Amino acid sequence: MRVLYIGDVVGTDAAELLVRKIEDMRRAYGVDLVLVNAENCAPDGFGTTVEQLERLLAAGVDVICGGNHSWDSPQAVASLDLPRVLRPANVEDGAPGRGVLTVEAAGTTVTVVNLADACAMHSARGVADKFFPAYRAWRSAEKQGAVIVDYHGDHVLEKQIFAHAVDGEAAAVLGSHTHEPTIPLHFLPGGTVLVTDVGMTGPVGGVQGFDPTHLVRNLRERGNPFAGELPVPVAGAPITLGAVVMSIVGNRTVKAERLDDAVLTG
């Protein structure tokens, strides 16, 4: 089975570029399952909209993952009610959405588990006080077949420790949230591939896909880049691609590679 995972989609332009390119990418790489982290795909880059998620799904995305921004949008509840949209599983019962989903692809059962670390979740709107450790959610999650984890977090050490803890139990642990891709693809002894951060799919030249102007001014004038109003505008620049393609046999990843920006322009 071939799986394409695309990291943090920032803004409408990036999301719409994927809408146009997903089918081409599926064919070019022989992909059976497409996972996308789209928690920043709203026009302002904070949260999601139902329309944008539905466009991604209709274009060929199979499962959409989230993170700390999953609850930002006024449409958050409706977005998280879509059956193939996830948010971090490690929040208490009662929070909108779900964090685990089992699907079929190429005759294979696949379970996608969406998790987040404390660094990411401390600012999650409306659910920050309902957060609990990711590994506890992992232990209690009902998992079948090949298991793929979207681990949304700032903390490199936590991501890597988690991956080693589930080595052999998950085919892949794919980091999201920082928007900065890490270079190594770590193949662990039990068959798990770890990508500490896949990186964003969004505009380059700013800060995590956002225009730095307001943040820089706040830092210079007020000593705190986040002292002003949020969100800040999404950067207007060429789109970079954060993505990996994996070949999974059983519950082991036997091959993985990064895709580069040429995929979006070819």
- Mean pLDDT (whole number) for 155-174: 98
Task: Look at residue 235 and give its three-state secondary structure.
Answer: coil
Residues sharing a CB contact under 8 Å with residue 198, sequence separation 6 or more, in sequence order: 5, 6, 7, 8, 37, 174, 175, 176, 181, 242, 243, 244
Interval 64-122: pLDDT, tens: 999 999 998 999 999 999 999 999 999 988 889 999 999 999 999 999 999 999 888 87
User: How far apart are the C-alpha atoms of 11 and 35, rounded to whole Å?
Assistant: 17
Interval 19-64: pLDDT, tens: 999 999 999 999 999 999 999 999 998 899 999 999 999 999 999 9
Q: Is the peptide bond before 231 cis (omega within 30 degrees of 0)?
A: yes
pLDDT of the residue at 266: 55
User: How far apart are the C-alpha atoms of 26 and 24, rounded to whole Å?
Assistant: 5
Residues sharing a CB contact under 8 Å with residue 139, sequence separation 6 or more, in sequence order: none
C-alpha 93, offset from chain centre: 22
Domains and CATH numbers, the chain: 2-201+241-265 (3.60.21.10)
Binned at pLDDT 50, 70 and 90, residue 168 comes out as very high
Binned at pLDDT 50, 70 and 90, residue 260 comes out as confident
* pLDDT > 70 in the chain, percent: 99
Angle at which helices 11-29 and 50-59 cross, to 10°: 20
Residue-wise burial string across 191-221, b where 16 or more C-beta atoms lie within 10 A, e elsewhere? bbbbbbbbbbbbbeebebbbbbebbeebeee
